[in-house]
């Protein structure tokens, strides 16, 4: 029986099959075959989610063969890309057409469809998550039909599929709204926690990107601001915190230390107090914690299941090494995040129930209704999603 595991190794699956696809016809034929034989499937991107979104005892579909830029349109600044394209592989070809993503996450290893399916985001108070840049999708629904959707064509399906948790269909192609290529300059600095926090709002507001990692063992916040620049790129690129280059060169980082992670999005106004509460919790109950706490901002959007849906957001992430127990720590942090009205990142650890999600997302039932319409038999569901599905 094949074996699949996520990036951290915390989630291991024994799917009935692990299938590699190379084309839309391949994808459509496979979905039809799986659904007509009463099996289920989950589509895998790069496997970087810390939540059990991909694991299944049904079929896992590997989309890494659906890769590359398909077409770009200079006037609308939009591009169609294959869904399995790793974000690192999109930067240069889009740049060669004078185009760029508005923002991206801390790393660029995710498949584009994986990133949009969980609301993956970077930092920046004016910048929305990656899913918000989606303007069109081509996907295969449970009966094997190929559908193209946008806010004009099949708009209901589009709303559900823009951030889909992999549960609406097999996405083959993604259309993205881009902008003109731009250069960025990073400025990293360190400050003792109490010296940084009075300036938090100003730092968040005055820069295109601002983020920091607070380190519990020395109480130091390792911060960076990133802004657009006219300066020439400087190669070889410097270390993180001192880079000057094009957007796709400066925004991603190297995160080699295997870990597991919980991240909650809280209303932006609650961010500073929530962070202080997490710091107090760590100091009182987890004083040996070695892993830092990350603080970022994300602009509000209108996606049904986005962690930033209809509210300006601060995201706070807590981490744990993969060889250390995470549950007591994460459960304690989760109580703090819940107190501050947090919504968990879809691709990271949480312990919420379907009722909890229904309380956090006004469109929860509506999203499931739209999803069930194109997949009434749950071909695209796994155990975890069935567990949070409304009755």
Binding site for ligand FAD (CB under 6 A): 7, 42-49, 53-54, 63, 83, 105-107, 110-111, 113-115, 117-118, 120-121, 165-166, 170-171, 255, 345, 347
Contact 119, 346 (CB under 8 A): yes
Closest CB to ligand FAD among 195 and 302?
A: 302
Q: Of the two residues 48 and 311, which places its CB atom closer to ligand FAD in the complex? A: 48
- CB 112, min distance to ligand FAD, A: 8
**Residue 254 CB: number of other CB atoms within 10 A?**
11
Residue 167 C-beta: closest distance to ligand FAD, Å: 7
Q: Residue 179 phi/psi, 5° resolution?
A: -140, 180
State the minimum distance, in angstroms, from the CB of residue 46 to ligand FAD.
3
174 backbone dihedrals φ, ψ, rounded to 5°: -125, 130
Helix (H) or strand (E) holding 170: strand 170-177
- What distance in Å separates the CA atoms of residue 103 and residue 120, rounded to the nearest whole number? 10
Instruction: Decide whether 12 or 192 has the Cβ nearer to ligand FAD.
Output: 12
Q: 261 vs 334, which CB is nearer to ligand FAD? A: 261
**What are the residues whose beta carbons fall under 8 Å from the beta carbon of 242, sequence distance 6 or more?**
186, 187, 188
Q: Does 236 sit behind a cis peptide bond, omega within 30 degrees of 0 on the bond before it? A: yes
With respect to ligand FAD, which residue has the nearer C-beta, 6 or 270? Answer: 6
- Closest separation between CB of residue 385 and ligand FAD, Å? 8
Give min distance, CB of 291 to ligand FAD, in A.
13
SS3 271: helix
Q: How far is the CB of 224 from ligand FAD (least distance, A)?
A: 13
Q: What are phi and psi of 91, to 5 degrees?
A: -55, -55
Choose between 106 and 186: whose C-beta lies nearer to ligand FAD: 106
Of the candidates 208, 196, 172, the one whose C-alpha atom is nearest the C-alpha of residue 83 is: 172
Q: What whole-number distance in Å separates Cα of residue 45 and Cα of residue 43?
A: 7
> What tokens were used for 361?
């997302």
Name the minimum Å distance from CB 181 to ligand FAD.
Answer: 21
Q: And the tokens for 124?
A: 């920046």
What end-to-end distance do the CA atoms of the chain give, in Å? 32
CA-CA distances (angstroms) from residue 226 to 230, 251, 302?
Answer: 13, 9, 26
Write down the least CB distance from residue 315 to ligand FAD, Å: 7
Containing 259, the helix (H) or strand (E) segment is strand 259-267
CB of 344 to ligand FAD, least distance (A): 11
Residue closer to ligand FAD, measured from CB, 42 or 224: 42
Q: Shortest CA distance to 175 belongs to which of 77, 44, 300?
A: 77
- Indicate the residue among 165 and 303 with the shorter CB distance to ligand FAD: 165
Closer by beta carbon to ligand FAD, 138 or else 231: 138
């Amino acid at each position: 029986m094949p074996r699949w595991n996520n990036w951290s190794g915390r989630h291991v699956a024994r799917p009935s099959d692990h299938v590699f696809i190379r084309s839309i016809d391949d994808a459509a034929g496979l979905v039809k075959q799986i659904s007509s034989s009463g099996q289920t499937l989950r589509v895998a991107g790069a496997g970087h989610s810390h939540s059990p979104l991909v694991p299944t005892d049904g079929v896992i579909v590997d989309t890494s063969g659906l890769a590359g830029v398909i077409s770009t349109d200079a006037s609308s600044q939009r591009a169609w890309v294959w869904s399995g394209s790793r974000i690192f592989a999109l930067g240069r070809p889009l740049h060669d057409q004078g185009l760029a993503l508005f923002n991206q996450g801390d790393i660029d290893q995710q498949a584009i469809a994986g990133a949009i399916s969980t609301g993956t985001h970077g930092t920046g108070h004016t910048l929305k998550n990656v899913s918000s840049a989606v303007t069109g999708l081509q996907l295969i629904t449970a009966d094997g039909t190929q559908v193209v959707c946008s806010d004009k064509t099949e708009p209901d399906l589009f709303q559900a599929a823009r951030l889909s948790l992999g549960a609406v269909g097999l996405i083959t192609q993604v259309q993205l709204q881009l902008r003109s290529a731009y250069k960025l300059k990073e400025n990293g600095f360190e400050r003792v926690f109490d010296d940084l926090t009075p300036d938090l709002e100003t730092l968040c507001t005055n820069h295109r990107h601002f983020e920091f990692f607070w380190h519990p063992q020395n109480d130091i916040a390792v911060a960076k601001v990133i802004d657009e620049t006219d300066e020439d790129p400087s190669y070889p690129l410097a270390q993180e915190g001192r880079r000057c280059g094009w957007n796709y060169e400066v925004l991603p980082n190297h995160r080699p230390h295997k870990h597991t992670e919980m991240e909650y999005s809280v209303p932006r106004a609650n961010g500073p107090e929530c962070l202080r509460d997490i710091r107090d919790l760590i100091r009182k109950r987890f004083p040996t914690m070695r892993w830092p706490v990350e603080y970022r901002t994300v602009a509000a959007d209108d996606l049904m299941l986005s962690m930033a849906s209809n509210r300006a957001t601060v995201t706070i992430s807590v981490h744990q090494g993969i060889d250390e127990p995470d549950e007591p720590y994460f459960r304690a942090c989760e109580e703090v995040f819940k107190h501050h009205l947090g919504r968990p990142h879809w691709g990271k650890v949480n312990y919420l129930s379907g009722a909890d999600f229904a309380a956090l997302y006004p469109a929860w039932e509506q999203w499931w209704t739209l999803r069930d319409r194109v997949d009434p038999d749950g071909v695209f569901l796994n155990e975890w999603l069935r567990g949070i599905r409304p009755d």
